[in-house]
Chains A and B, each alone.
Chain A
Amino acid sequence: MESCGKVRPPDTIPRIMSEMIEVRDLVKNFGNFCAVDHVSFTVARGKIFGFLGPNGAGKTTTIKILTTILHPTSGTIYVDGHDPVREQREVRRAFGIVFQDPSLDDELTALENLELHGILYSVASGDRKKRIEELLKFVELWDRRNDFVKRFSGGMKRRLEVARAFLHRPKILFLDEPTIGLDPQTRNHIWSYIQQMSKGENVTVFFTTHYMEEADRVADEVAVIDHGKIVTQGTPAELKERTQAKTLEDAFITLTGHTIREEEASSKDRMRTMARAWGRR
């Protein structure tokens, strides 16, 4: 694929401040490679939004741009009314994130990991203690709070990360394949935590996944991205209707085709493989 070339003139749609995420004509080039190609979408406040697409479609790149980790080549982006490039600090306060790979400190206990997060996000000490207890009880890890994270199973680590992401009361939660590699029980639990928190504290959720039945069940709205472009956006029911498919998975395959996507392994992927081979130290 080539780079996205000339940037099109901006859309004429006025900026709507009431939306949690607003993306217009987002472009991201890596050298000559166009990873995100004039993508536009909005996510309404309080909604659970699924961002679906095959491997290498541009999902993670988009999340990285929305969460200030990566700078876009061009385009207009607002997260909670703030620009992730110019108002990094405000955007960072507004979101919580669960990354695709674990991002806990294995040598610390569950409690210490949350403490550290609370301090990094300047949650006041009294409130922090209460909130940590409440969240650890909520994800059923309170009894294990003083255990080192390295003793935790994959599912427990995930639950802890979900608790951590909610700790500083974000307005929006980003989840990059939150249930990958987990058993069905844990997956259901994770989603029920997220749904309850989203409802209870009015948190917008932006997630990616490859499990279409999950997206169908939990998402209020989904967008399908492929080759860096948004293919379609709507409620899961609308997508199924449009493609005359029985399941969201069928709709997804109709929209994105049958070909397997080959991604070139980045140094990150190689490292991930190595980290797995080393058995988490």
Chain B
Amino acid sequence: MRAVYILWLRQLKRYSRSRSRMIGSLGQPLLFLLALGFGFAPTFSKAGGGSYITFITPGIISMGILFTAVFSGIEIIWDRQFGFLKETLVAPVSRIGIVLGRVLGGATVAMIQGTVVLIVCLVAGFRFDRTVFLPLALVFMFLIALLFTAIGTSIGSVLQDMQGFPLVMNFLVMPLFFFSNALFPIQGLPKALQMIVRLNPVTYGVDGLRGSLSSNHGYVFGVGQDLVVLGFLTAVLLAIGSHLFSRIEL
């Protein structure tokens, strides 16, 4: 248990010390929020969708969490490259303990990043009208963080070096974000696209978060379904991540 704690703490320390990373990973969500959020606002409200900033904020928060979480998981490759991974792998600690510490640490970092994005969105004009649902929003944020740190961990356990990183960004993380309901509503989409969006786990995270933050847009799938889908996938990916991590050879 102490081992899980110290590895979790290590991730937090590394994150808090790397200002450039903190600010750097804010850049992308900020860009989307400002350019799309304000750019599409007139069209969106004219079409009867209400405030686009309110609509897009849960999507932007999810984006911040998604990117940070996957990156945190993939950090295993750095640790492998810079040697620290060996130090943990020969210690008299179970691999499950190590992976748990890493995933919880990565997810916490992603949560913090998501919270910072939320604050930025508030400054940009986002308002949430369901204060009582705020704890539920935090639960969704943490589930998204956990799920994607686990995915990052799985990938990081398999990849040998950072060469594969752009591949992961462009063919997994970006599509996961764009083919979700983060930027546009799911209703009225072409059939094929709607299918893809419905199969995307990010969609359920965004839906849960959106429903918990604004009554205007509500839950499309229902809070129960969002929680079940996300919780189930998180459990599965955690199991896969631990399994792949425990198979790492030096």
Proximity bits, B146-177, A CB within 8 Å = 1, else 0: 00000000000000111000000000000000
Q: Could you say which residues of chain B place their CB within 8 Å of the CB of A120?
A: 3, 6, 87-88, 91-93
Which of the candidate stretches B13-21, B102-110, B122-130 sits at the interface with the other chain?
A: B13-21
Distance in angstroms between the alpha carbons of A200 and B112 in the assembled complex: 47
Distance in angstroms between the alpha carbons of A271 and B84 in the assembled complex: 14
Does A93 sit within 8 A of B, measured CB to CB? yes
Say whether chain B's binding surface is mostly helix, strand, loop, or mixed: helix
CB atoms of B90 and A275 under 8 A apart = no
Does B47 sit within 8 A of A, measured CB to CB? no
Distance in angstroms between the alpha carbons of A115 and B14 in the assembled complex: 15
Which of the candidate stretches A13-21, A96-104, A226-234 sits at the interface with the other chain?
A: A96-104
Partner of A280, one of B7, B82, B250: B82
CB atoms of A271 and B93 under 8 A apart = no
Partner of A116, one of B10, B18, B82, B89: B10
Nearest-neighbor residue (CB-CB) of B83 within chain A = A103
Instruction: Report the minimum CB–CB distance from B204 to chain A (whole Å).
Output: 34
Q: Could you say which residues of chain A place their CB within 8 Å of the CB of B90?
A: 67-69, 92, 97
CB atoms of B160 and A108 under 8 A apart = no
CB atoms of A122 and B2 under 8 A apart = yes
Which of A64, A70, A119, A281 gathers most chain B CB within 10 Å? A119
Does B247 sit within 8 A of A, measured CB to CB? no
Q: Could you say which residues of chain B place their CB within 8 Å of the CB of A92?
A: 90-92
CB atoms of A117 and B83 under 8 A apart = no
Distance in angstroms between the alpha carbons of A202 and B204 in the assembled complex: 59
Distance in angstroms between the alpha carbons of A106 and B90 in the assembled complex: 19
CB atoms of A117 and B82 under 8 A apart = no
Q: Could you say which residues of chain A place their CB within 8 Å of the CB of B86?
A: 69, 99, 103
Distance in angstroms between the alpha carbons of A275 and B90 in the assembled complex: 22
CB atoms of A107 and B14 under 8 A apart = yes
CB atoms of A271 and B81 under 8 A apart = yes
Does A151 sit within 8 A of B, measured CB to CB? no
CB atoms of A102 and B249 under 8 A apart = no
Distance in angstroms between the alpha carbons of A2 and B230 in the assembled complex: 50
Does A105 sit within 8 A of B, measured CB to CB? yes
Q: Could you say which residues of chain A place their CB within 8 Å of the CB of B78?
A: 281
CB atoms of B14 and A102 under 8 A apart = no
Q: Could you say which residues of chain A place their CB within 8 Å of the CB of B250?
A: 64, 69-70
What are 8 inter-chain pairs, A to B, with CB distance below 8 A? A68-B90, A69-B89, A69-B90, A104-B83, A104-B87, A120-B88, A267-B160, A280-B82
New A-B contacts (18) at CB < 8 Å, excluding given A108-B10, A120-B93: A64-B250, A69-B86, A89-B92, A92-B92, A102-B82, A105-B10, A105-B14, A107-B18, A115-B6, A116-B10, A119-B2, A119-B5, A119-B6, A120-B92, A121-B92, A122-B2, A271-B80, A275-B82
In order of increasing CB-CB distance, the 4 nearest A-B pairs are A103-B83, A120-B91, A92-B92, A119-B6
Interface residues, chain A, with chain B CB atoms under 8 Å away: 64, 67-70, 89, 92-93, 97, 99, 101-108, 112, 115-117, 119-122, 267, 270-271, 274-275, 280-281
